Amino acid sequence: MHSDQYLNLLMNEAGQQDPVVGDTVGLKTIILFFSFVVFFQQSLKRGKTEREKKKSLDTVKSGSFQTYNIIKGKMEDAELNAIRQARLAELQKTSGGGSSSSSTASGQQQEQQQRAANDMTSAILGKVLETEARERLSRVRIVRPDRAQAVENYIMKLYSIGQIRQKLSEKDIVEILDGLSRDTQQKQQSKIVYNRKQTLDDDDEDDFFD
């Protein structure tokens, strides 16, 4: 029932109760009461509407805040991961670089030591060998580098214990070469004899078990 219909109904009832006198006071009272009812209903509607708007706004704000937090959290995670990856790469690069630098330094040090040893050997050989002896040793080094190295080691050993009294000639180099050759042959023969003996012992054991 609309407000106008309700007002007409009240006025009709008022007129029926007092058709002759038409009590103005009663009519005013009814109108005031109706106005109060309408005002109260409108107030309730406005309050309900405002509460609904506020609730909707709070929902939107809450959703926006949650979305913002999610986006912010993802951004922070991505930034942290990027920082971690960069730091890890830096550490790996530093570690690898340090290891490479250490290996390079060690290799350079070994080369320097080897170069110094070679220079010292050359200086001593130049001091204790005659010209023909050095030339003979150079020719041997071309054909048999291992044999020339063995001769140099033998000469350096003699020099270190003070057994070289004068410069060595080409004949001395030949004698050293012959001695090294005999030692090599003897070692090979000893090895052959030992292998034969071991083979014979194995055969004897087989015969024993047979």
More confident residue, 70 or 120: 120
Which tens digits make up the pLDDT trace of 38-57?
Answer: 666 666 677 666 666 666 55
Q: How confident is the model at residue 122 (pLDDT cuts 50, 70, 90)?
A: confident
- Name the more confident of 188 and 71: 188
Identify the pLDDT of residue 186: 79
Range with top average pLDDT, 11-25, 156-170, 174-188, 190-204: 156-170
DSSP the chain: --HHHHHHHHHHHHHHHSTTT--HHHHHHHHHHHHHHHHHHHHHHHHHHHHHHHHHHHHHHHHHHHHHHHHHHHHHHHHHHHHHHHHHHHHHHHHHHHHHHHHHHHHHHHHHHHHHHHHHHHHHHHHHB-HHHHHHHHHHHHH-HHHHHHHHHHHHHHHHTT---S-B-HHHHHHHHHHHHHHHHHHHHHHHHHHHHHHHHHHHHHHHH-
Query: What's the confidence (pLDDT) of residue 19?
Result: 45
Q: Which residue has the higher pLDDT, 44 or 181?
A: 181
- C-alpha separations of 141 from 56, 136, 148 in Å: 99, 9, 5
- The pLDDT of residue 188 is 72
Is the pLDDT reported for residue 132 higher than 90?
yes
- Residue 20: the pLDDT is 42
Average pLDDT rounded to a whole number, residues 135-149: 92
Instruction: Quickly state the pLDDT bin for 138 (edges 50, 70, 90).
Output: very high
Q: What are the Cα distances from residue 51, in Å, to 38, 46, 54, 64, 163?
A: 20, 8, 5, 20, 116
Under 8 Å between Cβ of 167 and 129: yes
pLDDT number for residue 113: 83
The percent of residues in the chain predicted with pLDDT above 90, rounded, is 13
Using CA atoms, how far apart are residues 48 and 40, in angstroms rounded to an integer? 12
With bands split at pLDDT 50, 70 and 90, how would you rate the model's confidence at 11? low
Which residues have C-beta within 8 Å of that of residue 22, sequence separation ≥ 6? 15
**What digits encode the pLDDT tens for the residues 80-93?**
667 777 777 777 76
Distance in angstroms between the alpha carbons of the first and the last residue of the chain: 130
Domains (ranges, CATH) in the chain?
113-189 (1.10.8.140)
Give the mean pLDDT of the chain: 70
Q: Given pLDDT bands bounded at 50, 70 and 90, which one contains residue 4?
A: low
